[in-house]
Structure 1
Amino acid sequence: MSVFRNQNGQKWTARFRWRSGGKQYSISQTFNTKADAENWELEQKIQHLQGVDKKLTRFLWVFDKYFNTYKKDYLRKTSRDQWGYVRSKFKSFFGDDRTVQSITLDDYQSFLNSLNYELTHKTLLTIHRMISQVFDYSVQTGYINRNPTSLARVGGKKDRDVTYLNLEQIKKVLNYCRHGKFPAREGKSVQVGTPVLIEAAVLSGCRLGELAGLTWDNIDVEHAVFHIRRQLDTRNHRNPQFKELKTENSNRDVPVPTYLIDDMKKLHSPGDKLIFYTQRNLPVSTSSASRYTHRLLERLKINAPNFHFHSFRHSHVALLLANNVDIYAISKRLGHTNIRTTLQIYSYLMDEKKEQEDKKILSVLDNLGEQTND
C-alpha cells in the first residue's frame, strides 16, 4: 500500500515510488489524516508526469521549461525579472495546477480582459507576447495542437501621454539648474547635486539610473564623454546597488558639453564615490528625482502635465530632432538595440517631425509649379 496508517494508529504515511535511469526512488511523508496523505501522493504522481503525460502537464511547468531552456541564459536580469512578473500574473488568474491543454481561446481572452483596468496597453501587450511564445513552444513540442492566444485582442489602459519641454522651456530649466542658488549638502561645502543631475539628463538623454550611478572613472573629463557602463538601482537609495544596464547596447559613450563637466566638478566633496547626491548625502532615488522635478517645474511656472524625470530624455530627443540630428545617431546615443526601437518609442515626435517636413515638401513642390508656369 502507498498510503497506510502508522503503527501507533494516529498518523497516516504516504509513500511514492518512481523509476529513473534504471533506478528506483522513493519518498514518503506523514500526515494527520488519510485524505491529506492521499492528496500528497496524487500530487507526487502528477508532478512526476509533467512533460510525460500531455493531459496532466501544467502550463506553468511548460512556461518554466521554455524559460529555463531558451531564455534564462540569454537575458539580462531586468528581462528575466519581466518573465517572472508575467508568470506571476498568469498564476494569480489560473492558479498553479491549470494544464496547458485545458486553456481555451475564451479562457485566455478572459485572462487578458481581467487586466484591462489594471495595466496599460503597452504592458499588457508585453505579457501577451511572452505567453504567446510559451504556447507556440507548446504547439511545437506537441503538448497542444493550437495556440489559444492567436485570436486574442489586447486591451489595457491608455498609455500615459508623454510630455516634453520645448526649446524655450529647456533653456529656462538649464539656466535655473546652472545658475540658481541651491542649499549645500548636510555637513558639506558643496551644493546638492540634483539640479546638475537634471542638467545632465537634458544634455545627455541618459536614464536616471545611468546618471545616478556615474563615478569619475566613467567620465572622460578631457574630451567630455560619459562612459555608460552600469547603472544604480534607484529604487533603494539607502542601500544602493550597481546593476547591469538595460541592454547590451546601453553600454555606450555619450559626448556632452564641456560646461556640463565643469558644473559637475563643483559638486565633488572629499570621500564622495558618486557624482550626484541629495541634500542628505544619499544617492539619488526615483522618488527624490521625481519630487525635485515637479518642484522645479512649479518654481519655473512650466505647465507640463504628466511630466516626470524620464521625460527629460524625451525632451532631449525632441531637441535633437528639431535641430535635424539624424535619427540613427540619436538611437545610438540613447543606447537602443536598433533604430526600430527608437522609432517606436518616439513615434509621436516623428509624426510631428513628419508634419514639419511635409510642409517643406509642399513648399518645394509649390515653388516648382510656379517655376514651370513661368
Structure 2
Amino acid sequence: MATIRKRTLPSGKSVWQCDYRDGSGARRSKQFGLKKDADAFLSKARHEVGQGTHVADSQSVTVNEACKLWIERATNEGLERSTLDQYRQHSDLHIKPMLGAQKLSRLNGPAVQKFADDLAKTLSKAMVKKVLSSLSSIFAEAQRHGYSAINPVKTVKMRTNKRDVKKIEMPTKAELSAILKATPEQHKPLIWTAAFTGMRASELRGLSWDDVDLDAAVIHVKRRADKYNNISFPKSAAGTRDIPIAPSVVALLKAWKPQCPKGELNLVFPTGAGNVENHGNLLSRIFWPIQIAAGVSVKTKEVDQNGDPVMDAKYSLHALRHAAASLFIEQGMKPKRIQVLMGHSSIQMTFDTYGKLFPDEDDDASAVLAIENRLLSTS
C-alpha cells in the first residue's frame, strides 16, 4: 500500500514522506518539502511499478558510475581503440562535467533536453548528436543492469535548419581533371582508385591485393585501417561491398602490383616497408603536394623567402570520395545503387549527404512531359 504522511525530522524540519513498494515488493520511501511534489512522485512511481519500469533512487547510480559501466562493456566487447577513445572523450569532456553527479533516476526528458541545448551553445550540431548518442548508450547499458527505468535521451529533439547543412567540399570537374593530370606516376594507382571508386581513406589504407580482382575489374571492400594503423572489418555490414573499377584503374593497378612494396598484409598502398600507411602521410606527402602542383590551392597568410604567398591544398582525401559519388549520380545511377557503392548503412544517409546532387528538377520535368504526351496522345 502506498501512502503519503507528514513527518517531523529530528532537526525539526517537516517533510512529506512517500512510502510504497517497488516492483520486487521491497519497501521504499522518499521525502519532499511540498505535498504536491510528494503527490506527483507517488503517482509517477505507481505508474512505473505497474509498468515494471520503476527504479528507486537508492537502486540507481550516478551518471559517472554509468559511464564507467558503459566503457567497461565496450572494452570487453573488443571495440576498436579509436571508437573507445571517442567514447571516453564524449564521457570525460561533455557528459561527466555537466551531469556526472546526478543519479540516472532523476534525469528526465526536460533535463536531458537542457543538457543538449547547453551543449549546442559551444559545439556543432553534429558533435551534439554524437554526444547524445553516447548518452543514450549509457542509459541503455544502465537499463540492462536495472539502474534506470527509462532512456530519456529518446525524447530529445534537435532542431535542424537548412542553413546548418554543411556544404559538401569536393573538387570541380576542372579541378579533379587537373589533380589527375598532376599526379606523379608512382601515386597514380592510389589517386585514380580513390577518385574512381569513392572508397574511404581507411579502406584504401587497408586494401589487400587479395581483395582486388583485376580480371573481373572489381574491388571487394572487406577491411579498413583505423587511425592507429590496425586492420579491422568495416564498421557496418554495408561497408563490406563490391566496387567496379574503370579500365584505366585496372591498367594502373596491374602495372603497380609488381612494383608494390611487399609486406605481411599484402597491402595495395603500403609504406615503403610494406606496412599500413599513416593517413597523415597520405595527405602531407602525396595528396596535398599534388593539389598544389595542379593549382588546386588557396593562399595562406604566410610568405616564402621570395615574398610570395605560401599556397595550401584545398581538399582532404575525403573530397575524392564525394567527387566519385557526384560522378556516379551524374551518370544516372539510382540512389539505392549509390548507397551500396558508397557503403552507407542507410538510404537516408545517402540522401542526407548527396540529396542535393540528384537531378530532382530534371526528373520532375521529364515526368510532367511524359504525362502530357500520354494524355494528348489519347485525346
TM-score (norm 2): 0.64
Q: CA deviation at 1:365?
A: 5.8
Match of 2:30 in 1: none
On the 8 A contact 2:190/2:269 being kept in 1, the answer is yes
Pairs aligned (count): 304
Cα separation, 2, equivalents of 1:345 and 1:139: 33
On the 8 A contact 1:57/1:99 being kept in 2, the answer is yes
Alignment of structure 1 residues 339-354 onto 2, 5 Å: 339-350=347-358, 353-354=359-360
Match of residue 207, structure 2, among 198, 208, 214: 214
1:360/1:298 Cα in 2 relative to 1: closer, same or farther (>3 Å)?
farther
On the 8 A contact 1:167/1:319 being kept in 2, the answer is no
Match of 2:294 in 1: 300
Matched, 1:356 2:362: yes
Structure 1: runs of 5+ lacking an equivalent? 1-50, 183-190
On the 8 A contact 1:108/1:149 being kept in 2, the answer is no
Cα separation, 2, equivalents of 1:160 and 1:111: 24
Match of residue 248, structure 1, among 228, 233, 237: 237
Cα separation, 1, equivalents of 2:189 and 2:151: 55
Cα separation, 1, equivalents of 2:158 and 2:230: 39
Alignment of structure 1 residues 188-207 onto 2, 5 Å: 191=186, 193=187, 195-207=188-200
Q: CA deviation at 1:319?
A: 0.5
Aligned AA for 1:197? L
| Aligned partner of residue 163 in structure 1, secondary structure | coil
Cα separation, 2, equivalents of 1:167 and 1:210: 24
Match of residue 218, structure 2, among 203, 214, 225: 225
Structure 2: runs of 5+ lacking an equivalent? 1-54, 299-312
Q: CA deviation at 1:346?
A: 1.9
Matched, 1:115 2:135: no
1:142/1:266 Cα in 2 relative to 1: closer, same or farther (>3 Å)?
closer
Matched, 1:313 2:321: yes
Matched, 1:335 2:339: no
On the 8 A contact 1:72/1:80 being kept in 2, the answer is no
Cα separation, 2, equivalents of 1:259 and 1:224: 10
Q: CA deviation at 1:345?
A: 2.4
Q: 1:5-48 CA deviation, whole Å, 9 max, x = no partner?
A: xxxxxxxxxxxxxxxxxxxxxxxxxxxxxxxxxxxxxxxxxxxx
Cα separation, 1, equivalents of 2:334 and 2:75: 34
Match of residue 88, structure 1, among 85, 88, 92: 92
Cα separation, 1, equivalents of 2:365 and 2:64: 54
TM-score (norm 1): 0.65
Percent same amino acid at aligned positions? 17
Cα separation, 1, equivalents of 2:294 and 2:261: 33
Aligned AA for 1:262? A
Match of residue 269, structure 1, among 259, 272, 285: 259
| Aligned partner of residue 189 in structure 2, secondary structure | helix
Aligned AA for 1:150? T
